[in-house]
Structure 1
Amino acid sequence: MLLEKASTAVALKAKLFRGFADPSRLVLLEVLRQGPQTVTALVEATGLTQPNVSNHLRCLLDCGLVRRSRRGRFVVYRLSDERIAELLQLAEQVLADVARGVYHCTRYNVP
């Protein structure tokens, strides 16, 4: 029973990290880390297409990583929790220490 609960917790954690694993979603989270943005601003900041940004925002919204609110005619997106920004910052710190290994890792192919 304990193993089953642990397995479920690990699976849920893996699902959370899938939200961070896609480069397009990650760059959107990085931009939102700087503050709330409209879709138009996110398109400009990331160079992604508007449909691509909207699709990934929908995924991030469904997973609870971002929130949206309406400001007049515009919909503004923001990180749903300040700990997401902290997690991204912590990832940068860890990466600074292990970047060489990650760079040379052949197990995960990153374009």
Structure 2
Amino acid sequence: MTMTASDVVVRRAPGGELSALSAAGCMFRSLGDPARLAILRHLAAGEHKVVDLTAHLGLAQSTVSAHLACLRDCGLVASRPQGRASLWSLTTAPELLDLLATAERLLAVTGDAVALCPVYGEQA
């Protein structure tokens, strides 16, 4: 399926196109941290406790909790209590997984250009 610029639907908001795209920019910033992407990858396999994520990722509990709070505030993950712990899961798994798969395809096409970008690349 080929998409053109006219196929992209932009939510209309007071203030014009930039205001309408602000929410999209915020969403992409929430996905802009490798640790948050790793957390989402683990949650795509099913529910996890923070302790499980810290073991998988080798990050401190406070770091994982802060990333989960960010993802929760963005509406991407949710938790439910299980005893004294909480189980975390994706809230919109199909859409999020589609977005990440599309990003992988875009990265395959652009190669190292994003990583080498002087503004947003790995060395920036």
Q: Normalised by the shorter chain, which TM-score bucket?
A: 0.7 to 0.9
For residue 64 of structure 1, give the secondary structure of its aligned residue in structure 2: coil
> 5+ unaligned residues in a row in structure 1: which ranges?
none
- 2:49–2:85: 8 Å Cα contact kept in structure 1? yes
2:67 maps to 56
- Residue-by-residue CA offset, 1:48-98 (whole Å, 9 max, x unaligned): 110000111111111111011112332111111021122112211211111
The aligned runs of 1:97-108 (5 Å cut-off) are: 97-108=109-120
Identity across matched positions, percent: 34
| Matched pairs, number | 111
The aligned runs of 1:1-111 (5 Å cut-off) are: 4-82=15-93, 83-110=95-122
* TM-score calculated relative to the size of structure 2: 0.79
- 2:13–2:19: 8 Å Cα contact kept in structure 1? no
| Root mean square deviation, CA, Å | 2.0
The aligned amino acid for 2:79 is R
For residue 15 of structure 2, give the secondary structure of its aligned residue in structure 1: helix
The aligned amino acid for 2:43 is L
The aligned amino acid for 1:93 is R
* TM-score calculated relative to the size of structure 1: 0.87
For residue 15 of structure 1, give the secondary structure of its aligned residue in structure 2: helix
- 1:30–1:88: 8 Å Cα contact kept in structure 2? no
For residue 77 of structure 1, give the secondary structure of its aligned residue in structure 2: strand
> 5+ unaligned residues in a row in structure 2: which ranges?
1-11
Deviation for aligned residue 1:27: 1.6
